[in-house]
């Protein structure tokens, strides 16, 4: 299983931001200094992907970091090795008497005992996105937003800049083996972040460059439909200053509408004529795509995504290429890095190949993500029986998008669905929908689907029914990956 790991001999010290990184012609030339060195900062909900990344950045900036979460998490050991003090379980005592700042994740409610204690004592409290925006102001910000593809595109750009020796600072919402983790702090002038629209958190960021990959309905527990989501994206777009640049999906109608009144210059990307950045002569070999990248109708490079299956990766690579050019990276260096990049953790990650059964795991938890991922699996592993184990994430998302979910599994031979992964929902939402409702809709559409509430039941079912040549794909934003790991053990 992929883990977030940290550099063994190159941990960055508290004087990290003190070096002069003036770059000729760069839009934000300044001398960096770290306001976080030796400050005591406590992170509530440190186990979340974004919070884990922020914790890593703060540690590398010299902060004294503590944190807590409800359960153990993948990156816990690595953060502890870097010096973080982490408690499992949340209680007022976890906020030390000399704590100077508390940062809390979007999943933390106002009734959290640590948050209540910090506020009672008058300790400054910031949301994760607020803190990330403050740290981002130390560099030239690059924010990558959209309903889908944020993690992969941010990681891809970070890898390109790393390989080109541009040494970026970055925060990705997923672990990336080739980046030695989900975050990094470098001496270069750029700060890359994955910009999440949940609860309008991306409005706290400070981007000079931004990308809008796509805009669809999601997070309907905090947005009242697509128009509210569009308005949030318009506000995000307005954060980019006039001298900055916005990369916009020219083939997504919602994105096109959202950037209409942008004050920064807009560059479009897509496959159609008239795009600033265009993919042409698109081909694939077992689901891994190669294509020409045109910039203003002139050939910029030939991209070959040798280790990154999926048609949707073409657009991700277009965006990463465009932003890399704005960062001053040569076409040759971009093409070489694209050919090497193997993706982020839980994005079609192979967990094992046991007895001829291939086990994959993916973070996809939205109908569109499910469809493009299943298409990628079918292209990469043709003529194999495909088992999909999908764990719905949030009762509210499942209820709002139930029909879309039910239509998303057409490429699966068999679908197994455990109970919905609970996060943030109210008691009324939990009572309104369950996984069996999804299974019923899939069956009504002619699909083969089975509701097995517990992970253990699914593992036993697969141990009994899986055969050599099968592909088993676990999907979801919760802890469904544990099923894949247990199957690797059991099938062996």
222: domain CATH number is 3.40.1190.10
Domain boundary among 126, 151, 177: 126
Same-domain status, 79 and 116: yes
Maximum alpha-carbon separation in the chain: 63
- Is residue 97 situated within a structural domain? yes
Stretch 424-441: mean pLDDT = 93
Same-domain status, 309 and 358: no
Please say if the pLDDT value at position 418 is more than 70: yes
Please say if the pLDDT value at position 211 is more than 90: yes
Same-domain status, 54 and 150: no
- Is residue 441 situated within a structural domain? yes
Same-domain status, 357 and 273: no
- Is residue 3 situated within a structural domain? no
Please say if the pLDDT value at position 14 is more than 50: no
Same-domain status, 50 and 73: yes
Please say if the pLDDT value at position 27 is more than 70: no
* Confidence class for position 187, pLDDT limits 50, 70, 90: confident
Please say if the pLDDT value at position 63 is more than 50: yes
Cβ–Cβ under 8 Å, residues 259 and 246: yes
DSSP 30: -
Q: What is the CATH number of the domain that holds 382?
A: 3.90.190.20
- Is residue 106 situated within a structural domain? yes
Q: What is the pLDDT of residue 33?
A: 57
Same-domain status, 296 and 354: no
**Whole-angstrom distance, CA of residue 278 vs CA of residue 293:** 6
Domain boundary among 126, 153, 180: 126
Same-domain status, 176 and 61: no
Same-domain status, 320 and 180: yes
Q: What is the CATH number of the domain that holds 39?
A: 3.40.50.720
Burial annotation 50-68 (CB, 10 A radius, 16+ → b, else e): bbbbbbbbbbbbbbbbbbb
Residues 129-179: tens digit of each pLDDT: 999 999 888 889 999 999 999 999 999 999 999 999 999 989 998 889 999
Same-domain status, 189 and 301: yes
Same-domain status, 187 and 295: yes
pTM of the predicted structure, to 2 decimals: 0.85
Domain boundary among 306, 340, 374: 340
Cβ–Cβ under 8 Å, residues 279 and 314: yes
Domain interval for residue 52:
16-126
Residues 404-413: tens digit of each pLDDT: 999 999 999 9
**Whole-angstrom distance, CA of residue 174 vs CA of residue 345:** 6
**Backbone phi, then psi, for 134, in 5-degree steps?**
-65, -45
Same-domain status, 203 and 232: yes
> Containing H/E element for 462?
helix 455-465
Q: What is the pLDDT of residue 16?
A: 30
Same-domain status, 292 and 425: no
- Is residue 248 situated within a structural domain? yes
Q: How many domains does the chain have?
A: 3
Pairing verdict, β 357-362 and 349-354: antiparallel
- Is residue 11 situated within a structural domain? no
Q: What is the pLDDT of residue 158?
A: 98
**Whole-angstrom distance, CA of residue 174 vs CA of residue 343:** 10
- Is residue 460 situated within a structural domain? yes
Q: CB burial class (10 A; 0-12, 13-18, 19+) of residue 261?
A: exposed
Mean pLDDT rounded to a whole number for the chain? 91
- Is residue 159 situated within a structural domain? yes
* Percent of the chain scoring above 90 in pLDDT: 82
């Amino acid at each position: 299983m992929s883990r977030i790991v940290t550099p063994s001999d190159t941990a960055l010290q508290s004087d990290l931001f003190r070096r002069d990184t003036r770059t000729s012609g760069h839009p934000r030339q300044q001398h960096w200094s770290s306001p976080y060195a030796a400050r005591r900062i406590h992170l509530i909900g440190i186990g979340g992907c974004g919070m884990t990344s922020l914790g890593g950045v703060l540690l590398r900036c010299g902060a004294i970091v503590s944190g807590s979460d409800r359960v153990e998490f993948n990156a816990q050991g690595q953060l502890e090795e870097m010096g973080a003090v982490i408690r499992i379980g949340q209680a007022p005592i976890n906020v030390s008497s000399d704590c100077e700042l508390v940062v809390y994740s979007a999943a933390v409610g106002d009734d959290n005992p640590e948050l209540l204690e910090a506020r009672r004592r008058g300790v400054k409290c910031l949301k994760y996105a607020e803190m990330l925006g403050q740290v981002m102001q130390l560099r030239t910000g690059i924010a990558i937003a959209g309903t889908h593809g944020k993690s992969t595109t941010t990681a891809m750009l970070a890898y390109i800049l790393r390989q080109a020796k541009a040494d970026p600072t970055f925060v990705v919402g997923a672990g990336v083996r080739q980046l030695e983790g989900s975050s990094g702090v470098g001496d270069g002038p750029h700060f890359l972040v994955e910009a999440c629209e949940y609860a309008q958190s991306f409005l706290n960021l400070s981007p000079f460059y931004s990308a809008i990959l796509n805009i669809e309905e999601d997070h309907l527990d905090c947005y009242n439909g697509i128009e509210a989501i569009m308005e949030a994206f318009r506000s995000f777009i307005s954060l980019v200053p006039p001298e900055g640049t916005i990369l916009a999906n020219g083939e997504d109608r919602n994105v096109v509408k959202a950037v209409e009144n942008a004050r920064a210059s807009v560059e479009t990307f897509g496959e159609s004529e008239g795009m600033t950045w265009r993919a042409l002569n698109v081909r694939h070999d077992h689901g891994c795509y190669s294509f020409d990248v045109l910039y203003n109708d002139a050939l910029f490079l030939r991209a070959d995504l040798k280790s990154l299956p999926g048609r949707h990766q073409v657009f991700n690579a277009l965006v990463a290429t465009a932003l890399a050019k704005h960062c001053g990276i040569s076409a040759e260096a971009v093409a070489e890095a694209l050919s090497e990049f193997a993706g982020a953790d839980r994005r079609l990650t192979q967990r094992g190949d046991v007895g001829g059964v291939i086990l994959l795991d993916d973070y996809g938890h939205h109908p569109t993500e499910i469809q493009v991922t299943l298409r990628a699996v079918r292209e990469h592993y043709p003529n194999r029986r495909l088992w999909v184990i999908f764990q719905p994430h949030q009762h509210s998302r499942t209820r709002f998008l139930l029909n879309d979910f039910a239509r998303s599994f057409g490429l699966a031979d068999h679908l197994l669905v455990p109970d919905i992964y609970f996060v943030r929902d109210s008691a009324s939402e939990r009572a309104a929908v369950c996984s069996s409702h999804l299974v019923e809709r899939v069956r009504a559409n002619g699909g083969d689907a089975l509701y097995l509430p517990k992970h253990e039941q699914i593992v036993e079912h697969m141990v009994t029914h899986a055969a050599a040549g099968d592909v088993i794909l676990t999907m979801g934003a919760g802890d469904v990956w544990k099923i894949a790991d247990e199957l690797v053990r059991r099938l062996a």
